[in-house]
Structure 1
Amino acid sequence: MPVVAATTLLVTQPAAAASLTRVTNFGNNPSNLNMYIYVPDRVAARPALLVAVHYCTGTASALYSGYFRDYVTAADQYGFIIVFPEATRSGQCFDVYSPQALRRGGGSDPVGIMSMVDYAKSRYNVDPGRVYVSGVSSGAMMTNVLAAEYPDVFTAGSAFMGVPAGCFATTDGSTWNSQCSGGQSIKTAQQWGDLARSMYSGYSGSYPRMQLWHGTNDTTLAYPNFGEEIKQWTNLHGVSQTPASTDSPSSGWTRTRYGNNGTQPPVEGISVSGQGHSLPLNGMISYAINFLGLNSTTPSSPSPTPTPTPSPTPPNSPSPSPSATPTGGPPATTLGAAAARSGRYFGTAISASKLGDSNYTTIANREFNMITAENEMKIDATEPNQGQFNFTNADRIYNWAVQNGKQVRGHTLAWYSQQPGWMQSLSGSALRQAMINHINGVMAHYKGKIPYWDVVNEAFDDSTGGRRDSNLQRTGNDWIEVAFRTARAADPAAKLCYNDYNIDNWTWAKTQGVYNMVKDFKSRGVPIDCVGLQGHFNSGSAYNSNFRTTISSFAALGVDVAITELDVEGASATTYANIVNDCLAVARCVGITVWGVRDSDSWRSYQNPLLFDGNGNKKAAYTSVLDALNAAVPDTSPSPTPPVSPSPSPTPPVSPSPSPTPPVSPSPSPTPPASPSPSPTPQPGGCSATIRTVNSWPGGFQSEVRVNAGNSAVSGWTVNWSWSGSPSITQLWGGLTSGSGSSVSVRNESWNGTLPANGSTTFGFTANGSPETPTLTCSAS
């Protein structure tokens, strides 16, 4: 197979910033498909071509901005073209069932799609040896059909949750084959191979390499179809059904390779334990990119940053840059501790499937003090069946975090993507009510435990600055407001955030659209407390020096700002330092979360975008981030991760939805935070201390102690107490502990002992046993 060399010239297109574009009059189109195309700003001289095929009920736009976004990112980096066919019939499934569709040149959708391929090949000088196809569900079925009918056109395919080519065939005009979807169409490998060969009678050449993905709990296109697909493609390639190799590239995945054990074997199957009809998950597309061979061309220079016409710029007053010289204590040696010096957090995204990886958990526990569940708190994970909540994996992450002295950021409650099948099938008032019920159910489970929630995720269009077209948006333009009001009523103590990508550059229309929504919400009393800037920086969405203006402008509206999913293509040390300094320059930028621990854990692992390499070694970017955090002025007043409190403004009642909103019964109630112990009146020159329970779980708890100086400054402090029961501290931060048995004594660290008059600091700990709020004494020096 011809491969374009890494030094291939990239040609800049004369058009404006790359976007998904509709194409008409592209050729023979018997079933009236729509054609959309993505052409990156910099195209390889002989680019590859990917055909990306959506699922039933899907659209080209939804696939472009959702499941296949990583393909788009890779196109920006490697200069290839993506064609997005779009079905227009009722239900928006592709025809993989009619006799016309199952014969080369027979008509229907395959003919229209091949017209799109021919259009792209002739217009963009596509390398004919590098044409690929990938799809999801109905699109995966079409992937198998296209590869069987046009094996001389496609080099390789990647099918997420499909069935064998020809399996869905019907003869009565129906569009659904229940026997096939239910996994009951069982044939020999030869029978499946012959069925595929009959679609291009007389062909004797080779067939495309094929990568197949399936969840073991899939009931929409049942899991037995995975094995039947493997039979078909191993037969077409003439290789054994006995795997050449078997491994597990990620927890819960089983990868089998057939024909050889190389990285691009003739057939590769990846089954995902416990997953239903919900692929691809984060990180999977990077494996597809590598299998297909779409990562073989590197642009000679980064793509220019898109510069959409800006909306009117609101006034803003950026905060001054932080002092380069810290004023207290030695530099911290970990990211979380360094961020805490200035009252911020530094967090990471955690996957429950990797909690058994000691290298992974050692780094995560050592370096980070805020945890976000990568996928486990999303809609499909927490409510896989309507009204039936499952917090097993979400609780694994939550419990691991709090037992190791960390807080948890909730992600996410309302999102157009990663919805379970039952929710995808709803619309109108039924969907609106399902959204409300989901928010209530999840927040009831974690009430009082999670300080920040991403209430709504990615609701704005990438280019126009308006709302993204989604099933939630189609319930009414007030859906975001209803989500936030519902969340406030469900957990008044949590800070409520809007979270999105590509709202980093202040000049972009999308940034302005989100800004105007937040401004409107604040003016009308809609409860919004924070904005999450995801920070996925790459050649197509590069870091811009106006990022600080973006942060300060949102903060000026009276909301906190957080960088929530940070990764930087290539992990430039300079870019990482600039991003951190931009946050440090704005008082209301409360923290930074990187989206993964090691490069190998990243959803875009092929870009090596994180602070630790795949072996867990610190990269140059790690050092630049640590240095920037340590250069910030230490904060001896607020807690590094302060307890959240309700918004000071009264919370308006939830807007009425199309049907009344019944309160969701809480799941087994978490132990409520204990009331703070009484605060003794500080004496002049002395100190006082209070304790509160932050979190609790069976057999353990987490507490925070606040030390308050009196009317005079203090240069050191010691807090003492005695347990009435039998708790024992397992971990303590922000202080040095001594004592034995029921008596506990904690004195200041070298960097937080000096407090100004009426100033304060905090320390925290986790302990075994039942929560207590003992009486504290504080002595100052």
Structure 2
Amino acid sequence: MPVRTLPLPRPRHPRRAFGAAAVTALTALAAATLLPTGRAGAADTSLRSLAEAKGIYFGTAITQGDLNNPALTAVAGSQFGMLTPGNEMKWDTTEPSRGSFNFAPADRLVSFAQANSMKLRGHTLVWHSQLPSWVSSLPTTQVKAAMENHITNEVTHYKGKLYAWDVVNEPFNEDGSFRTDAFYNAMGSGFVADALRTARAADPDAKLYLNDYNIEGQNAKSDAMYNLVKTLKSQGVPLDGVGFQAHFIAGQVPSTFKANLQRFTALGVNVAITELDDRIQLPATTASLAQQANDYAGVVNTCLAVSGCVGITQWGVGDADSWIPGTFPGYGAATLYDATYRPKPAYAATATALGAGTSPSPTPGASCKVTSSVNAWNTGLTEDITLTNTGSTTINGWSLGFTLPAGQTVTSSWNASLTPATGQISAANLSYNGTLAPGASTSFGFQASHTGNTSLPTLFSLNGAPCTTA
């Protein structure tokens, strides 16, 4: 278990880090034929399909604001099979004042999930954080009724639409004692059983979970969760699983992770990785990205090796929408996708762990083709690139990723916006050339300085999907 001098902080609202540091290296990508519409192009290559073939799910968490980001939604809708609303089902959104419910924000995410054939995980019904002040201000004699009413109304509203609920979230302190929040102060530890029974009565078919962080390895906190689960099961309280958030630091996945999951499944509950990310000290390096790839693969392999591990959810889609940089200064790059939603080495490692080929060809089912040419002189060069939509669906907005050879630095560009100037480049359309009908092409280019290497760029990918080159 990683040693932390302070408990892992939890943000009131996951913060976005749109200025995340550019990744400095990228290994060969696993096949991921995403079409720009967000549909999976080849049924056997997306993370969701690979995971489902192994009998588990692979999910993500987004917020309603993310629905305005086409690059994010394209990846989310095609690559992930489970959706967790980041904030929209929490108490301060769903019942901001007593008896006044607002499900509209969460409903929008439910609609997105349904449109993309994704399962849904409810998060969360009872939590000490993101709790409106009126709850904490109630007399202790009124808290139980308020909690039961909240659970009943929210679970009933989504009855039949959700796969599972995180009924109680983060009930423990780091030393294994219960948090002294409004619910514990009013009902003692019995609030957990009461919340579970209330949720089961409102939707008998939804899976009911307890969820917490820093319980991935065997320690005082995970012992407390284990003993709670053991007690609840012995009392016949409805409990289907335990969620392990898995907010890891690269290279610090606990060695007791697998054994810990197994001792919980031995109690008769399922386990799930519910909020996975693996943060790196910035700037990311080739070594740290490789370590992150090993960590992600290890989490997948652990889940597959534990009978009763039902799935994995990454918290966020890419580094641009991760909560990590806003909460842990100096850290970031914690997800499978970089700040422009291109797959990172961890993506390739995850896909391989889920059963993808180790050296897949992007040609079958590819939706884009790239041709390029270079004109070089002493210390400079110009590059002309033509992008062709070889798919059957119109592209509305494109981002072409590629790796710029070492020693080359972009100094200017035309017909596209390029960032950053070196390394992993993202070329985005301008206002007049973002639409590409099937078979249509667009051209752009750039001028760059070089230190002797005038090679063409490599590893072209369109909105996260590998392109063929000619």
Give the structure-1-normalised TM-score.
0.39
Alignment of 1:229-308 (within 5 A): 280-283=12-15
Partner of 2:300: 580
Aligned equivalent of 1:628, options 353, 356, 361:
353
Aligned equivalent of 1:436, options 135, 148, 157:
148
- The answer on 1:405 being equivalent to 2:117 is yes
Partner of 2:167: 455
1:613 counterpart SS class = coil
1:383/1:438 contact within 8 Å kept:
yes
1:346 counterpart SS class = strand
Partner of 1:610: 335
How far did 1:415 drift?
A: 0.4
C-alpha distance in 2, partners of 1:18/1:566?
Answer: 18
Partner of 2:385: none
1:349/1:594 contact within 8 Å kept:
yes
1:496/1:529 contact within 8 Å kept:
yes
Evaluate the alpha carbon distance shift between residue 18 and residue 531 of structure 1 in structure 2; reply closer, same or farther with a 3 A threshold. closer
Alignment of 1:435-514 (within 5 A): 435-462=147-174, 464-477=175-188, 478-506=190-218, 508-514=219-225
C-alpha distance in 2, partners of 1:281/1:412?
Answer: 13
Amino acid of the residue matched to residue 551 of structure 1? L
Evaluate the alpha carbon distance shift between residue 331 and residue 361 of structure 1 in structure 2; reply closer, same or farther with a 3 A threshold. closer
Partner of 1:535: 246
Aligned equivalent of 1:594, options 271, 293, 314:
314
Aligned equivalent of 1:544, options 244, 251, 254:
254
2:216/2:260 contact within 8 Å kept:
yes
1:363/1:616 contact within 8 Å kept:
yes
How far did 1:421 drift?
A: 2.1
Partner of 1:517: 228
1:332/1:630 contact within 8 Å kept:
no
2:45/2:356 contact within 8 Å kept:
no
Q: Over residues 713-743 of structure 1, what are the superposed CA-to-partner deviations in whole Å (9 max), with x where a residue is unaligned?
A: xxxxxxxxxxxxxxxxxxxxxxxxxxxxxxx
2:215 counterpart SS class = coil
C-alpha distance in 2, partners of 1:427/1:580?
Answer: 45
C-alpha distance in 2, partners of 1:613/1:495?
Answer: 32
2:135/2:182 contact within 8 Å kept:
no
Q: Over residues 606-662 of structure 1, what are the superposed CA-to-partner deviations in whole Å (9 max), with x where a residue is unaligned?
A: 411000001011000000001001169xxxxxxxxxxxxxxxxxxxxxxxxxxxxxx
Partner of 2:382: none
Q: Over residues 155-179 of structure 1, what are the superposed CA-to-partner deviations in whole Å (9 max), with x where a residue is unaligned?
A: xxxxxxxxxxxxxxxxxxxxxxxxx
1:612 counterpart SS class = coil
Partner of 2:272: 562
Q: Over residues 517-553 of structure 1, what are the superposed CA-to-partner deviations in whole Å (9 max), with x where a residue is unaligned?
A: 00111111011001000000127x9311211111111
Amino acid of the residue matched to residue 61 of structure 2? A
- The answer on 1:393 being equivalent to 2:66 is no
1:427/1:471 contact within 8 Å kept:
no
Amino acid of the residue matched to residue 578 of structure 1? G
Partner of 1:36: none
Q: Which range moved further: 575-584 or 469-478?
A: 469-478
How far did 1:358 drift?
A: 0.9
How far did 1:17 drift?
A: 5.2
C-alpha distance in 2, partners of 1:545/1:17?
Answer: 13
1:461 counterpart SS class = coil
Evaluate the alpha carbon distance shift between residue 517 and residue 387 of structure 1 in structure 2; reply closer, same or farther with a 3 A threshold. same
Amino acid of the residue matched to residue 255 of structure 2? S
How far did 1:422 drift?
A: 1.5
Q: Which has the higher strand share?
A: 2
Evaluate the alpha carbon distance shift between residue 429 and residue 542 of structure 1 in structure 2; reply closer, same or farther with a 3 A threshold. farther
Partner of 2:424: none
With CA pairs under 8 Å and 6+ residues apart, which has the higher RCO, 1 or 2? 2
1:448 counterpart SS class = coil
Aligned equivalent of 2:344, options 612, 619, 628:
619
1:412/1:456 contact within 8 Å kept:
yes
- The answer on 1:375 being equivalent to 2:91 is no
Amino acid of the residue matched to residue 528 of structure 1? L
C-alpha distance in 2, partners of 1:566/1:527?
Answer: 25
Structure 1 runs not aligned, ≥5 long: 1-15, 21-63, 71-279, 296-329, 633-781
Structure 2 runs not aligned, ≥5 long: 22-41, 281-288, 326-330, 358-470
1:388 counterpart SS class = coil
1:465/1:509 contact within 8 Å kept:
yes
Q: Over residues 233-291 of structure 1, what are the superposed CA-to-partner deviations in whole Å (9 max), with x where a residue is unaligned?
A: xxxxxxxxxxxxxxxxxxxxxxxxxxxxxxxxxxxxxxxxxxxxxxx52116x79xx9x
C-alpha distance in 2, partners of 1:370/1:376?
Answer: 16
- The answer on 1:358 being equivalent to 2:70 is yes
Using the aligned pairs only, state the percent identity.
45
C-alpha distance in 1, partners of 2:161/2:294?
Answer: 36
Evaluate the alpha carbon distance shift between residue 331 and residue 440 of structure 1 in structure 2; reply closer, same or farther with a 3 A threshold. closer
2:355 counterpart SS class = helix
C-alpha distance in 2, partners of 1:514/1:349?
Answer: 24
C-alpha distance in 2, partners of 1:69/1:453?
Answer: 19
Q: Over residues 286-326 of structure 1, what are the superposed CA-to-partner deviations in whole Å (9 max), with x where a residue is unaligned?
A: 79xx9xxxx9xxxxxxxxxxxxxxxxxxxxxxxxxxxxxxx
Give the structure-2-normalised TM-score.
0.65
2:124/2:169 contact within 8 Å kept:
yes
Partner of 1:126: none
C-alpha distance in 1, partners of 2:106/2:335?
Answer: 23
Amino acid of the residue matched to residue 370 of structure 1? M
How far did 1:471 drift?
A: 1.7
1:380/1:420 contact within 8 Å kept:
yes
C-alpha distance in 1, partners of 2:277/2:122?
Answer: 19
C-alpha distance in 1, partners of 2:44/2:349?
Answer: 13
Q: Over residues 577-610 of structure 1, what are the superposed CA-to-partner deviations in whole Å (9 max), with x where a residue is unaligned?
A: 1111000001210000000001010111441100
1:442 counterpart SS class = helix
Partner of 2:29: none
Q: Over residues 426-466 of structure 1, what are the superposed CA-to-partner deviations in whole Å (9 max), with x where a residue is unaligned?
A: 2412122111111001001011111110000000111x212
How far did 1:513 drift?
A: 0.4
How far did 1:419 drift?
A: 0.5
Alignment of 1:67-86 (within 5 A): 69=10
C-alpha distance in 2, partners of 1:544/1:597?
Answer: 24
How far did 1:424 drift?
A: 2.5
C-alpha distance in 1, partners of 2:304/2:139?
Answer: 43
Aligned equivalent of 2:52, options 334, 340, 348:
340
Alignment of 1:413-432 (within 5 A): 413-432=125-144
2:68 counterpart SS class = coil
How far did 1:403 drift?
A: 1.5
Amino acid of the residue matched to residue 57 of structure 2? Y
Partner of 1:169: none
C-alpha distance in 1, partners of 2:231/2:238?
Answer: 11
Amino acid of the residue matched to residue 545 of structure 1? S
1:615 counterpart SS class = coil
C-alpha distance in 1, partners of 2:197/2:276?
Answer: 28
C-alpha distance in 1, partners of 2:233/2:168?
Answer: 16
Q: Over residues 319-346 of structure 1, what are the superposed CA-to-partner deviations in whole Å (9 max), with x where a residue is unaligned?
A: xxxxxxxxxxx99311000000011110
How far did 1:69 drift?
A: 4.3
Runs of 4+ in structure 1 off by over 6 angstroms are none
C-alpha distance in 2, partners of 1:545/1:574?
Answer: 13
C-alpha distance in 2, partners of 1:499/1:402?
Answer: 24
C-alpha distance in 2, partners of 1:465/1:448?
Answer: 34
